[in-house]
Amino acid sequence: MEKLYIIKIGGNIVDNPTLLTACLTAFSKLEGQAILVHGGGKLATQLAISMGVEQTMVEGRRITDEATLKIVTMVYGGAINKNIVAQLQSLGVNAMGLTGADGNLIKAHKRTGTSIDYGFVGDVDMVNTNLVKQLLSNSIKLVVAPITHDGKGQLLNTNADTIAQSIATSMSKHYEVHLIYGFEREGVLSDVNNSDSVIALIDRPAYGILKNQKVIFEGMIPKIDNAYLALEGGVQSVIIGKAEKLNQLINGTAGTTIKI
């Protein structure tokens, strides 16, 4: 099967022009099919402040009311997505930026039945694999913003890690999929203050132990849970590490590899 790299870059990369350019340059040199999924970053919060839209955070998550949904649609689907696309085009990559609404790429439903009302937040139901195959086979590299839709006209704010995992899992029927979570650190660290303490390999038993020891905590847990969902869904490999070291992450000389 043909290789497909799905690379997710987080808000800290998106917020930093130098890191972003390094990461996009690495992305432009990738051989084979590739999809970039980007997160949000501080821009949405900054815009909300300057517009006087109050942001409610519950347990570290942004509540997406109507005004916030408009902001994230503008920032993620507009400013960030289109700037990444324009920059990739300048690097010779025929990039195309899409939200989940575009071409019905990702259908989701509004999260309900939780104790917290997250507002216009979507949980993924379906990835349009035909569209993805079609575009990839036309030498287009996709840049996906973390916005989905419900098919009834409603846009939904959706976690970028989950989007990357959903696309990776869905596409694993058609490609040998490698999922890379790029962020600002070298990988999963055994000592959060020491960037040399990268854990090269985490399997299920190790993950359990590291969670118990609180070496892995907070935001890293849903990331690794997503990694396992992807691996169980047929994804070949999941690697977490520094976004701009994309090539080393892929050839296994940097980052943390997650295994079943």
Binding residues (CB under 8 A) for its own copies: these are 47, 50-52, 70, 73-79, 81-83, 85-87, 89-90, 94-99, 101-104, 131, 134, 138, 140, 147, 149, 151-155
Are 64 and 118 in contact by the 8 Å Cβ rule? The answer is: yes
Inter-CA distances, 240 with 127, 159, 179, Å: 23, 17, 9
The residue among 89 and 213 lying less far from its own copies, judged by its C-beta, is: 89
The residue among 83 and 236 lying less far from its own copies, judged by its C-beta, is: 83
Backbone φ and ψ for 256, nearest 5 degrees, come out as -110, 125
The residue among 28 and 257 lying less far from its own copies, judged by its C-beta, is: 28
Q: Which residues contact 217 (CB under 8 A, 6 or more apart)?
A: 211
Rounded-to-integer distance, Cα 10 and Cα 37, Å: 9
Q: How far is the CB of 87 from its own copies (least distance, A)?
A: 5
The residue among 90 and 195 lying less far from its own copies, judged by its C-beta, is: 90
Q: How far is the CB of 53 from its own copies (least distance, A)?
A: 9
Q: How far is the CB of 71 from its own copies (least distance, A)?
A: 9
Q: How far is the CB of 93 from its own copies (least distance, A)?
A: 10
Are 255 and 248 in contact by the 8 Å Cβ rule? The answer is: yes
